[in-house]
Amino acid sequence: MRCDAMFKLGFVLFLALAATTRTSADDAEQGTALGSVAKQTWGSLPDGRSAHLYTLRNATGMTMRVSDYGCTIVSLTAPDRKGQFADIVLGYDRLEDYIKNSPYFGAAIGRYGNRIAGGRFSLDGEAYTLKTNNEPAGVPCHLHGGLAGFDKVLWDAEAIVTDGAVGLRFHYFSPDGEEGYPGNLEVTIHYWLTNDNELRIEYEATTDQATPVNLTNHSYFNLAGHDSGTILNHELTIAADRMTPVNKGLIPTGELKPVAGTPFDFTSPTPIGKRVNADDEQIRFGPGYDHNWVLSRWDGKLRPAVTLRDPASGRTMEILTTEPAMQFYSGNFLDGTNIGKGGHAYQHRTGLCLEPQHYPDSPNHPEFPSTILRPDEIYRSASVYRFSAK
């Protein structure tokens, strides 16, 4: 599925960050003048285990708060063109809200990001049934790892401080049969906050049995600030000239459709609100954008994929990824019932998700790039979220 050679070049810059590190999962705070990581107890899970909240700060003043529950990015601040910082991701103040009612705010997603039709697939002649937890248009599917995916588990965490970045190393052992998946899976995720104002996420996994793997992060972004209103004025560019159309259950049909002349053409900067309500069957299925874009000229190396810009603040986010596709979700199902940070109610389309990934339902589409990881392989994926203000 993914050979080491394919990802070698994309990972050179990540591996460089690991030089001269100091690590600890127990220190309350550690760091240098160029960055720091602080740890605090954040609450308890229903089984009595404690979850923690880590606060990362880089040399330029950006901060990121991350929990070991779900590898969840709780907050992320970035400066505007005047140097004013704002928290640009949706989320909650309290752990219990993530446990009870989170639409995957900021979480790591696995084993399989996105949907698998009917929660079923066949692999090497054997049929597997996964837990189903989503029913678009009444059509059941397996979504984002199932009832208790990687977003709902407590990860082992270790803080990392380098000369150029601060970070966290997360580890989770997913046992054979969890949510219906075959094989014991060892997963490691690194989050880095660099002094170049980049959030870098690295994924690695190994298995003792062939299994589908498709890891991503599900942060909801609003570059004007998490409590600032809709994202409809944000300008979006996606380096993709095709997308994967879906049926009414939001499962890919198998077709790769050109975006030219459709509401899905973001090959040049386009306000999200311009065509989000277009009279188009795919938009109606969404309702809005909840689709997979096929990134152009994919070769498995780290390359630019997306640019998102808020004209009012000037905040700009560029995403580079080694993945072949990007899921864009325009916050269609936010409806004000999620009461987020500071008591703010997240209304319709007040946040958006951009998820680097492989295609949805790939285990049932042999024509798509494979998501099957085998025991003699190492799954590696990386994405960079680069922040600036223009």
- The end-to-end CA distance of the chain, in Å, is 39
Buried residues in 98-135 as b, exposed as e (16+ CB within 10 A): bbeebbbbbbbbbbbbbbbbbbbbebeeeebebbbbbe
User: Is position 358 annotated as part of the catalytic site?
Assistant: no
Establish how many alpha carbons lie within 13 A of residue 161's alpha carbon, considering only the half-sphere containing its beta carbon. 21
Residue ranges of E strands in 248-302 = 257-258, 270-271, 290-294
Cβ-based neighbour number of residue 357 at 10 Å: 24
User: Is position 355 annotated as part of the catalytic site?
Assistant: yes
Annotated active-site residue in 198, 204, 323, 355? 355
From residue 196, give the alpha-carbon distance in Å to each of 88, 169, 338: 17, 20, 33
From residue 116, give the alpha-carbon distance in Å to each of 122, 273, 365: 12, 29, 10
Biggest CA pair distance of the chain: 59
Annotated active-site residue in 218, 291, 358, 365? 218
| Of 209, 161, 213, 212, residue with least CA distance to 188 | 213
CB 104, CB 150: distance < 8 Å: no
For the record, the structure tokens of 237 come out as 């560019």
Q: Which residues are catalytic?
A: 218, 355
